[in-house]
């Protein structure tokens, strides 16, 4: 199972943004146990799909407003209805990950058993750093492409040439980062299944 813990950065010097994030995550992502506030400015949810977990973690980390910890492993069953009442290694790994994320590259970290966690964390941190360093114009073009628009359609929408769109995507390493994120999502899904299976045997 995959547990994601998200903590608001610099919450003492700014407004509480938890409720807005909870609303967005509830609308955009399917969870085994939905995200809810666990303590103060921290929220937590449980997912089964690795690709969705990667998309969610990178989307939230990209804002620069949150530290994101991904914990992988078994959970105690039957799971309680409330996420905050969940227990098991995945929850413990998520706690470790979110604490490390506060000082980690891209404000994102991943923890889990065995050798799989370190490589996955490095891949996700790399993508998170690329996302964080994109210019606003590069990110805008990439988001439109991710929604299914062709470069020609993006160019028409932004009022620029197709060559300019291509340059923005290239400078932001959009396609490379997208491919790495997709591969990491598949790897995370397999890793979560393996760690759950090894716990049962």
pLDDT tens, position by position, 168-194:
999 999 999 999 999 999 999 999 999
Q: Tell me the average pLDDT across 138-142.
A: 95
Residue 183 is assigned to a structural domain of this protein: no
Domain count, the chain: 2
* Cβ partners under 8 Å of residue 86, min gap 6: 3, 33, 44, 46, 75, 76, 79, 80
Q: What is the pLDDT of residue 3?
A: 97
Residue 78 is assigned to a structural domain of this protein: yes
**Burial (CB count <10 Å: 0-12, 13-18, 19+), residue 201:** exposed
Query: Are 38 and 107 contained in the same domain?
Result: yes
Residue numbers of the domain that contains 161? 136-171
CATH of the domain at 145: 1.10.10
* Cβ partners under 8 Å of residue 49, min gap 6: 2, 30, 189
Is residue 72 scored above 60 in pLDDT?
A: yes
Tens-place pLDDT, residues 79-130:
999 888 999 999 999 999 999 999 998 999 999 998 889 999 999 999 999 9
Residue 71 is assigned to a structural domain of this protein: yes
Query: Are 105 and 43 contained in the same domain?
Result: yes
Report residue 200's pLDDT band, with 50, 70 and 90 as the boundaries: very low
């Amino acid at each position: 199972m995959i547990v994601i813990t998200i903590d608001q950065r610099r919450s003492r010097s700014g407004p509480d943004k938890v409720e807005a994030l909870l609303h967005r995550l509830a609308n955009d992502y399917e969870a085994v146990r939905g995200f809810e506030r666990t303590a103060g400015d921290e929220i937590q949810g449980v997912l089964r799909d690795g690709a969705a977990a990667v998309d969610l973690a990178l989307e939230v980390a990209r804002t620069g407003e949150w530290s994101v910890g991904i914990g992988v492993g078994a959970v105690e069953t039957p799971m309680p209805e409330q996420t905050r009442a969940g227990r098991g290694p995945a929850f413990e790994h998520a706690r470790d990950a979110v604490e490390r994320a506060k000082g980690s590259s891209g404000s994102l970290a991943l923890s889990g058993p065995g050798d799989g966690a370190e490589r996955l964390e490095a891949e996700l941190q790399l993508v998170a750093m690329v996302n964080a360093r994109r210019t606003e114009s590069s990110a805008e073009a990439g988001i439109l492409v991710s929604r299914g628009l062709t470069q020609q359609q993006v160019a028409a929408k932004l009022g620029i040439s197709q060559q300019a769109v291509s340059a923005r995507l290239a400078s932001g390493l959009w396609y490379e980062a997208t491919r790495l994120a997709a591969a990491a999502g598949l790897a995370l899904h397999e890793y979560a299944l393996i760690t759950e299976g090894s716990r049962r045997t």
